[in-house]
A and B are shown apart, each in its own frame.
Chain A
Amino acid sequence: MLQIEGYHKAYHGQTILRIPAVTFDQPRTWIKGGNGAGKSTLFKSLAALIPFEGTITLNGKEMRKHLQHWRSVVNYAEAEPIFPAFLTGEDLIRWYQQTKRGTPEQVNKLIDTLGVRKYMHQKVGGYSSGMAKKLSLVLAFIGCPELILLDEPLATLDVEAQAIILALTDEYVQQGVQVILTSHQGLAAVSEQWQYVHTCLIADKNLTQL
């Protein structure tokens, strides 16, 4: 269960997002919102990547007090992933496997499921946006996460890969993992499981539950 209290994020004194209190207790949550509404900012805050005011707690553990644990159990895939061009996909996968304590079996399964194996030995600088996206999604599922944050996971992916991603999230949800994602695309058409999910809307610098 993810709880946010007194959240406030501002850039150069200008408020981007303010959330007095919200609890995400459903296994699947879909956060909607227009461009620039603050979805990615919220995700980066939830992933403990940027400073913010307020407290965020996951399963009773507050982010700031348990940063090492947070990094182990919260996985995040960016909307537009950026990696050093000179590293290979394999380098990054091994890095995540070691830091997130993923097993070789799990990693191999993810690589095959998302079809990354054929280009994982190439340097990331030569990847197309779809290839980089798939790699970032492989990384987001490595380890033993309690919360997976997927920012626009379906963007730049073909229809087949979109279905695979949502099926993968369902698999993790079955294991007790909470998944929060943003998407401008309709999810119900891709996966039945995502037809009746907990939905939130970010608008007017605030988050409301629908």
Chain B
Amino acid sequence: MSTLLPILRKVLQFQFYKQHAGFFFLAFMLLFGLIDASQIVGYHVSLMRGMASTPWLCGLALLGWTLYSLKINFFTRQLLRSEGSMFLLNLQACSPATRWWIFWVSHVEMMLPVIVYTWVASVVFVADKTYGILILFLLYPFVLCTISAYLYVRQLMGVLEEKELGFIDRISRLKIFQLRSYYFVLLKQMLHERKLALFIAKVGSFGILYIAFTLNETNFEKGEFFILYHIIISAHAVIIYYMVQFLENKLAGLRQWPLHYWQRFTIAAIPCFILLLPEMVYMILHGQHMFTLPEIGGIYFFSAAQLCVFFSLLYLPRMNMDRYLVYLFTIFAFSIFMMLLKMYWLYGVVELLLAITIYRLRFERFEQPEGEK
């Protein structure tokens, strides 16, 4: 087992943290970036105390950790299914205790951000003598790890069982989705392989919209909203990153198809525009006290066009996740300024032209950055 864990760590834990760097950055921004540095400790301590005294806030935290655990679970199970990880099936040859222990430790290592948070919270709970919530917080992440380890072992040992088609697989086999299916291939991929990432992005996105338009209906500044709105876009930028990875790795054969650049670009543009439709609908329903209808349309157009820019940026040389984030935040700084000038439509058109130009120039010369294959 001494050799197995470090190797599994390379395959699983390192890859998980690497592939979800954007997600962690977003979570970090939400937890620490929006609060004044001098108030961070006080804010989090009162948040922890709030969890101990308010059942719904406590439930929300537990739900968040469950979703995070599900994200890990989804990643691990997907890895176990992938062709390149077939060697992992050799774990079947190990004793049941070894199999279980290895997966449990792996899940614990990927749950570390949650576990560290609960340990910090437990210091507050000990000081406040709220032992019930202390036990709940200390045990809950490990319960999630235990359930996940059980699911991994079950999948590992169930490799000879035929899998039934899931709901989304059944839906996607309907004839209507087969028409010109390459236009919707990225949308389908999102729903199939990145549904959890999409779900988390949408939960965060609607949480922000809810805070801006519903909870703080009267006392929310446009400037504050624009900053928060860019967090929504950055959550979706991670999905765009996955889209390009899928397009250029698993669907590399599409390059051989006799498609025009316009058609290729449309394949990416369609999900970019569809992705943000729910946010636009929410803004139409709840945000008209802050923005007019044309403004909402402009914000939607500009943000969808920005996702197209992110898509095209990934075709620039040596564009790994780190560089992608740098470009992303440079664009954010500029676009917040443009939003404040209310030049949504103009900026959207410029973005779209920029996206098309970069894509047209870089598509043929695209090379996967080292380590992203």
Contact = CB atoms under 8 A, between A and B. Distances in A.
B10 interface: yes
B216 to A, nearest CB: 45
Interface stretch (A29-37, A83-91, A167-175): A83-91
Nearest to A48: B160
Interface stretch (A63-71, A156-164, A190-198, A201-209): A63-71
A72 B93 CA distance: 5
A100 B94 CA distance: 8
Interface stretch (B34-42, B82-90, B305-313): B82-90
A99 B159 contact: no
Nearest to A78: B86
Interface centre among A70, A71, A94 (most CB of B within 10 A): A71
A165 B157 CA distance: 31
Contacts, number: 76
Contacts of A85: 371, 373
B7 interface: yes
Nearest to A94: B3
A78 B91 CA distance: 18
A86 B84 CA distance: 11
Given A67-B92, A71-B89, A82-B84, A98 B1 contact: yes
B72 to A, nearest CB: 18
Contacts of A82: 83-84, 86
Given A48-B160, A63-B160, A87 B93 contact: no
Interface of A: 48-52, 63-64, 67-68, 70-72, 78, 82-87, 91-92, 94-101, 125, 139
Given A95-B87, A99-B90, A99-B94, 20 more contacts: A48-B89, A48-B159, A50-B160, A51-B159, A64-B160, A67-B160, A68-B94, A68-B96, A71-B89, A71-B92, A84-B84, A85-B373, A87-B7, A91-B10, A95-B90, A96-B90, A97-B3, A98-B1, A125-B373, A139-B87
9 contacts: A48-B89, A67-B92, A71-B90, A71-B92, A78-B86, A82-B83, A84-B84, A84-B85, A95-B90
Q: Which 6 A-B pairs have the closest CB atoms?
A: A99-B90, A71-B93, A71-B92, A72-B93, A82-B84, A51-B162
